[in-house]
Structure 1
Amino acid sequence: MEYDIHQGEKLENRIRRLEASDERQYMINENYEVYEKQGAPLGAIAFHYHNFYEILYVLEGEYSAMVENQTYHLHKGDFLLIDQNVMHKYHYMEKKHDSSKRIILWITRQMLEKLGEGDMELAACFERRDSCAYHFPVYYEELLRGYLLKLSMTQIPESRLPGEKALLDRGCLILFFTYLNLLCRKREYLFKQENLVQHPLAKQVGSYVEEHIGGKITVEELAEQVHMSKYHFLRKFKELTGVTVHAFVTDKRLIKACRAISEGMNISQAYQAAGFSDYSSFLRNFKNAYGISPGKYKDFYPDS
């Protein structure tokens, strides 16, 4: 069902939807995308990351997501904010998510900078604290939901002139992120600890990889760190994260290199600092992950 945010009336064919089976984790539009998703996802079941921000808002039912080493069990009205280049995945719970309905917003840092116009750092709400999930008072939750629903609509019933929808969307984005940043400063709105599940294995492995990112990292070393046999460790890690240990280490290296490039390091220094042994391997993996070359990625940060 689709709802008018003011009157609760059913609307047909006006909400952008993405099928639960759609595994796309990249943006088609240049600046932002907003859409509704319903049911338990068949995609996003393995750790992944992207070079844009993600907001997930639960419209109905329940939804669970693992972000780095914590799983968040979300309910109606909850918001999950995922920073750029943060490992996350859908966390399946049998029979819990069949009726789940949520709105997904993807947006680039460049778009947030344009919206803020130098007056406000609109990406500040994504800075990690103890949690990246929030539950706001009903008034504010309904206010934010209204902006998201407006953004997810393919057309506004009142709008007739060319360009009005784009202008209204820009206004909704500015209001949404301004309110969101104000609310995220209040620690009392952070997710309650009883709705979080910690994963020590993911935390230990992630911490070790980040500490030794510039050098060679073997499966044997990691298994020793978590006091498991090699094969038991490989199996448990894949069960938890949905990816192999090798893929996890490679992704952590890419995230490290990506961050270094955005902070002004030249590409040659960045890939070596991230532990890649040669440029060809780095280039191949970077293109697979981000869809562009490191050089084009660096163009996004001309002043860094």
Structure 2
Amino acid sequence: MNRKQLSVMDADDARQYMLKDNFEIYEKKGIPSGAMEMHFHHFYEIMFICQGDFAILVNNITYHLNPGDFILIRQNQFHHYQYVKNQHENSKRILMWVSANYLETLAQQNADLTSCFTQTQTPAWHFPAHHREHLSQYLNTLLYLESDSLTPKGEKQLLEDSYLTLFFISLNQLCRHPEFSFRIENTSSNPMIRTLTDYINEHIDEPITLDTLASQAHLSKYHFVRVFKELTGMTVHDFVNHKRILKACELIWEGEAFSNISELCGFSDYSSFFRNFKAVYGISPREFKAMYRGNFLP
């Protein structure tokens, strides 16, 4: 295997979609300036911190990660990087994106390889050293394999399938041990984000104004806009819009008729729903339903 090159993603790469159907794996270094806004995606994400410090907001909790830590991001889960000056410049991490379809294919109905994402409330883990080394070896092998140009395509696919299966089985086993979950002293929460998220979720089918959200946060409108942007990297309007799209995805998976979804998610009409959905996912709601029918829909 050619080990002279690594599959690398630039720190300022803002791409939040997969170029391949199955999985992608990259090494990233430095400040990830391309991931400063709150975002979500319809695949799973795993990040392993190789060196330096890293902080990431998942929902309303910030996780302060150190070398050896793992963060596991579920599908359609809001998250974004939080930069701390003079602390994160030397960060190096391995980033993996993997689709639910692919993990289901690997498991062949014999196991649930996604349980590491769903079986606990915490997305962050600090495993004992020998377990971290075991997992990082799989990741580094996949990282080098991704850029290997000498191994025949068929053999390369078998190797990728095998190493990914071993990695996720090992990870699932470790995530069944709550003692390996992240220590509370390495987290911080923002009650304003939780309050606003709860309010938006409860009123997702209604008009939601800036004045109302500022009132929920007990801030003046102009101060609220500034603070919200600092915390999430997004405008209030974009945040609400993304929450509506997430709710729409849930309804699509539940089999709700398209004619009802726009109203249930608070869009003014189907045209507005269609336009906003395609702006976020790059495909229409019907294309989204067709793509994930076999994995999420009844």
The letter for the 2-side match of 1:169 is E
The letter for the 2-side match of 1:12 is K
Return the alpha-carbon distance in structure 2 between the equivalents of residues 233 and 130 of structure 1: 29
Say if 2:36 is the partner of 1:45: yes
The letter for the 2-side match of 1:76 is P
Say if 2:77 is the partner of 1:86: yes
Aligned residue number for residue 208 of structure 1: 199
Relative distance call for 1:155 and 1:41 in structure 2 (3 A) is closer
What RMSD, in angstroms, separates the aligned Cα atoms of the two structures?
Answer: 1.9
Contact kept? 1:55, 1:79, Cα under 8 Å: yes
- Please list, as runs of the form range in 1=range in 2, the aligned pairs for 1:92-241 lying within 5 A after superposition: 92-127=83-118, 129-154=120-145, 160-241=151-232
Return the alpha-carbon distance in structure 2 between the equivalents of residues 95 and 226 of structure 1: 30
Aligned residue number for residue 18 of structure 2: 27
Per-residue CA shift, 1:186-234, capped at 9, x if unaligned?
A: 1111100010010111111111101111111111111111211111111
Contact kept? 2:55, 2:83, Cα under 8 Å: yes
Say if 2:293 is the partner of 1:301: yes
- Which TM-score applies when normalising by structure 2? 0.94
For structure 1, which runs of at least 5 residues remain unmatched after alignment? 5-9
Aligned residue number for residue 7 of structure 1: none
Shift of 1:285: 1.1
Contact kept? 1:53, 1:84, Cα under 8 Å: yes
Q: Secondary structure at the match of 1:57?
A: strand
| Higher share of residues assigned helix | 2
Aligned residue number for residue 263 of structure 2: 272
Relative distance call for 1:232 and 1:124 in structure 2 (3 A) is same
For structure 2, which runs of at least 5 residues remain unmatched after alignment? none
Q: Secondary structure at the match of 1:153?
A: helix
Contact kept? 1:64, 1:91, Cα under 8 Å: yes
- Which TM-score applies when normalising by structure 1? 0.92
Per-residue CA shift, 1:242-269, capped at 9, x if unaligned?
A: 1111110000000010111122222222
Aligned residue number for residue 245 of structure 2: 254
Aligned residue number for residue 287 of structure 1: 278
Contact kept? 1:131, 1:191, Cα under 8 Å: yes
Relative distance call for 1:87 and 1:162 in structure 2 (3 A) is closer
Say if 2:232 is the partner of 1:245: no
The letter for the 1-side match of 2:27 is E
Shift of 1:271: 2.7
Per-residue CA shift, 1:160-190, capped at 9, x if unaligned?
A: 4442111111001111111111111211111
Shift of 1:272: 2.1
Shift of 1:280: 1.3
Q: Secondary structure at the match of 1:25?
A: coil
Shift of 1:77: 0.5
- Given the alignment, which residue of 4, 20, 35 partners 1:12? 4
Shift of 1:16: 0.3
The letter for the 1-side match of 2:4 is E
Return the alpha-carbon distance in structure 1 between the equivalents of residues 111 and 134 of structure 2: 20
Contact kept? 1:71, 1:198, Cα under 8 Å: yes
Return the alpha-carbon distance in structure 2 between the equivalents of residues 245 and 128 of structure 1: 31
Corresponding residue pairs, total = 295
Per-residue CA shift, 1:59-85, capped at 9, x if unaligned?
A: 111111111101111111100000111
Aligned residue number for residue 62 of structure 2: 71
Contact kept? 1:156, 1:165, Cα under 8 Å: no
